[in-house]
Amino acid sequence: MVLGPPFAELAFAPTSTGGGGEHTRHKQQPDSRSHRLHAAGGAGLDQPRDSHNEALRYRSRVMHRALVTGGCGFLGSAVVRELLARGVRVRVLAAPGEPRDNLTGLDVEIVEGDVRSVDAVRAVTAEVDTVFHLAAVYQDWAPDPTRMYDVNLRGTFHVLEAARRAGVARVIYTASMVALGRPEPGAVGDERTPYEAWNVDFAYSRSKYFSRELAEYFAAWGLDVRIVCPGIVLGPYDLRPTPSGKLIVNTVRRRGPMPWFDGGAAYVDVRDAAAVHVLVAERGRAGERYLAVAHNLTNLEFIRAIDAAAGIRRRYVHLPVGVARAIGRAMDRRARRTGRPPLLSLDFFEYSLKPSFYSNRKSLEELGARYRPLDETLRDAIAYFRQRGFIPSPP
């Protein structure tokens, strides 16, 4: 049962426990209505952006060798591809046992290790000029968030401190829009919107807020740290799929009328979010935050957009908040009994009731970022999920 999109992000590639440090130079072998976002000069912002656009595929004059933690993951692997397109040599920190399908055919150096290991992180940051720190635990349901806080906070500290000691020129830290505050209803937030979700026990949001603050403490002490806050990230190469991808998969797989509840969020294509990361490294400013968002949509608008991309026609049934909350609580109780994640995370539901709409003006004006139309993102994601068997092919 899909009840409209709860929040999902962002920075992926969960990190598992383990030591690490074995380096291998490795070429992987095959094995809307909405609140409109700002655009430069007042133009609409649904501009197609191809990752093969020659205007962006130049050899970087800033970076020569970069480390990407979480580089096997959904967003991390997209950052890797953007870097390779600019002629940057790439080292990836991969968690032990983590699937590496997204690196197939790419000429990258893979180091297996855990961001919670001081020795592993110290070794992997040697001889790089730029660090992209994307590795994080992301869960939309976490009855025990201890590991999430451990990886997202302690792991971030280790990466930043290792970068400082190694004399790395710059660090690009992937936060999330959930590390910022939600704007007041009817308003559009930006990079300065103060965090206010203290009334919601949403562990992922808090872990990203605290780790974002940690990165800014390092910046205050002189480390060149730049922060990217992606919206809900969608698109192809979502292996698991992530909770973001499950919003699409569950919507397309459901038959019959589609229930939805109030709320809304900002979305972005994974390829465009990756391009913003690289642009932040090349053109951004130390200590600054940059939102990577493209489309502000209510929950109903997002569901309709998915259905349009998948060729689905049906009725939509609005669920009052009280009814949706009761369903969420029942799912949460069942999940705690069985240990299986619920279809609707109660924490996500409560967080997403207050629409999280944001402006992308800063990324457009300071970085020259571009964002593709939502229907292109959704079509590509649906085709990928069908190819992997998550969504049945149309009859």
Catalytic residue positions, numbered: 209
Cβ neighbourhood burial of 23 (10 Å; 0-12, 13-18, 19+): middle
Tokens of 101: 């399908």
d(CA 127, CA 104): 24
CA pair distance 248, 17, nearest whole angstrom? 30
Residue type at position 24: T
Cα gap 182→184, rounded to integer Å? 7
CB 235 within 8 A of CB 377: yes
User: Quick one: three-class SS letters along the chain?
Assistant: CCCCCCCCCCCCCCCCCCCCCEEEEEECCCCCCCCCCCCHHHCCCCCCCCCCCCCCCCCCCCCCEEEEECCCCHHHHHHHHHHHHCCCEEEEEECCCCCCHHHCCCEEEEEECCCCCHHHHHHHCCCCCEEEECCCCCCCCCCCCHHHHHHHHHHHHHHHHHHHHHCCCEEEEECCHHHCCCCCCCCCECCCCCCCHHHCCCHHHHHHHHHHHHHHHHHHCCCCEEEEEECEEECCCCCCCCHHHHHHHHHHHCCCCEEECCCEEEEEEHHHHHHHHHHHHHHCCCCCEEEECCEEEEHHHHHHHHHHHHCCCCCEEECCHHHHHHHHHHHHHHHHHHCCCCCCCHHHHHHHCCCCCECCHHHHHHHCCCCCCHHHHHHHHHHHHHHCCCCCCCC
Report the alpha-carbon distance of residue 320 to residue 26 in Å, rounded. 53
Q: What is the identity of the amino acid at 88?
A: V
